[in-house]
Structure 1
């Protein structure tokens, strides 16, 4: 999350108002968090408090890791090959970049069984974690390793048609479960990103503009 990216959401929920006047971003954030904590009454309110603290902690920890490694995210000065600085990197290139930057978590969890560790959303991570092993394996190779359904089908000696069917069933299940979570967030006025709102309304992820 970019620095102080949470402020618009705080203003939208009236935790920061025009009556507060001009103040530094860090002061506005501290004031909003204080008001969120003080106004918490219901279970949903306290979940909102935890949501924001978790989000701010994740951002703080990321900045600390970047500071500790002392390296840029695309480090040509550390001897990265031009191949790994492509504008359209493959998954292996991305892992290589992370390794050169001193970030090894994605490399450690680069396995079908731990695919849930590769996403940042806790609810989505839980959904992936509870999938059956053969579904995790399929999602890993189709979406991370970029196998075609035919290539994956041949690797496990099944038909392309069968893999396509299993893929669609798995995606429908994930979308349904995640849609339910987003609906809960919306009904309880919990913060949501624009992409999450788009997914809830359309059932698919918003395509990035080229």
Structure 2
């Protein structure tokens, strides 16, 4: 079964409704599956739950099987060793690891124009989507490709000071908009992660604090 073709069926069975608003396909599928599980009461209902999980497993196994064909069983031949040589793998390494796992989404959307497709939060995705093209381009190269402000400035013929200023302005705008989203979620008793709660109450984590959490 091709990816996400089950969504129309979920909508027909009212497991996804218009009231849910716009969301990423994977979020919609997860929501529908959760509702199917929570609404199960009879033997037939539980059989339906198993049916959908079997369908999803078949799809996952098919994709894994298709992309494992032809791959060497010796990790060194396809570069897996590089993923373990660095504490912080490069973005290209992460993309390659996803490709080897048969997950092409991040690779497909790997461009400044579609940077909003690289986040899982629907609200944050919408915020990024509405940014001007030059801001998307800057965020992509500074935060995904890990270019320095100087490197990026040279590539587009501007000064690094100007780029740093634009970067801070863009981040402040994104944080302000996302903060409003989180405030709305809190006011309406919607779930928040620990990081989201911290951001809402204290702002961005300091680098030292982030390092402590990573340990």
TM-score range, shorter chain: 0.5 to 0.7
Structure 1 stretches of 5 or more lacking a match? 1-36, 38-45
Matches within 5 A, 1:30-41: none
Aligned to 1:113: 113
Q: TM-score, normalised by structure 1?
A: 0.67
Work out the number of aligned pairs and report it: 163
Deviation at 1:93, TM superposition (A): 0.2
Aligned to 1:135: 135
Alignment deviations for residues 3-43 of structure 1 (CA, whole Å, 9 cap, x no partner): xxxxxxxxxxxxxxxxxxxxxxxxxxxxxxxxxx9xxxxxx
2:77 aligned with 1:83? no
Structure 2 stretches of 5 or more lacking a match? 1-14, 35-52, 66-70
Deviation at 1:195, TM superposition (A): 1.1
**Within 1, Cα distance between the matches of 2:187 and 2:119?**
24
**Within 2, Cα distance between the matches of 1:78 and 1:103?**
20
**Within 1, Cα distance between the matches of 2:140 and 2:58?**
29
**Within 2, Cα distance between the matches of 1:146 and 1:85?**
19
Alignment deviations for residues 117-146 of structure 1 (CA, whole Å, 9 cap, x no partner): 000000000000000000000000000000
Q: TM-score, normalised by structure 2?
A: 0.65
2:214 aligned with 1:209? yes
**Within 1, Cα distance between the matches of 2:168 and 2:33?**
32
Deviation at 1:69, TM superposition (A): 3.1
